[in-house]
Structure 1
Amino acid sequence: MRRYTISVNNTSKVVDVEAVGANLFRVQIDGRLVDVTLDDHRDLAHSAITPAVTPRAVSAAPAAHTASAPLASDAPAASATAQGAAPAASGGGPRAAAAAGGGGRDKMTVPMPGVILTVDTAVGASVKRGDSLMVLEAMKMKNELKAPKDGVVAEIYVAAGQQVKFGETLVRFEA
């Protein structure tokens, strides 16, 4: 269960969210229980994060100051971690994001760690949004992974029985 504190019209509310199934959640707000079905989602953990850079004044001993200061290339990684991005995506740079599966809209990534039970599609198959592509077992629950968009399967990166981690690329679609 996750607990969130949100503000609605300048009134603070505590919201408890419990995952009941792959796409079913039980939400409690102000003591009232509501069952919520997730129809679609976009994993923002792999979104590009643009950090705000504030220039610092140069000190009297720039060499000593530069050695202890973080490198400019480290700033996006630090910002991504601070903003709650997945550790797999916070390596700083497109190569780390691509390895984590967040490289673009033409890929489907693992939503949670688990084991692939079945792969129900093949390379070259034409799929429609919502078609079942594979089944992932996570926490002793079977989760049907569905196509996020219409397209043609260009590559499948996993096989039945394979252990997968959050953010790994499962399927790449043709552009």
Structure 2
Amino acid sequence: MEVFQHPDLYGYIGMALSMFSFVLKNDSNLLKVNFFAAIFWALNGLLVGSMTAFLTQIVGAVVTLYRLFDQSEARVLRAGIVALLACIFLSWWSWAGPHSLPVAVATLFLVSALALAKGLSIRILFVAANTAFLLHAYLYSSTPQIIATLVAYPFLFAGLYRLVSARGDSLVTVEPIKS
């Protein structure tokens, strides 16, 4: 199919959804949009042959759904820990050399944000993940990915600013999102 001949398209759609979610104040809406972003990132990873990106983004999508629909703090914490362990295992299992490391680290930051964090800490972990993705793009000398990750920073910092200016927020809490 012609649509599968352009795998970068899925990455750009994932990036656009991620950037949109970065400026949202509500954690529940941020998680909903990032679920779809993870699906597009997973498709991009599959089509470009990055099993690390594909598998760990699927874990990210699943843990996001779990967090959105389960309101038990203990179960959400257990699911987040299981998701992090799954990402570590999948990163090891799909290891393709040192260039896999930035994707694995970025995904660990993302899954930590989506599974365990709240408010400001979600956004800080997203900045860390974007930085790891930037390193990955730099290692591959991928100009489109470098540009995409650089473009994400203003959105990330705008989201941080909106959240901090709207209310004080604790940095570390482990609570389910209330819809």
Greater percentage in strand: 1
* Structure label with greater radius of gyration: 1
Name the TM-score class by shorter chain: under 0.3
Structure with more helix by fraction: 2
Query: Which gives a bigger RCO, structure 1 or 2 (Cα 8 Å, sep 6+)?
Result: 2
- For normalisation by structure 2, the TM-score amounts to 0.23
Report the TM-score when normalising by structure 1. 0.23
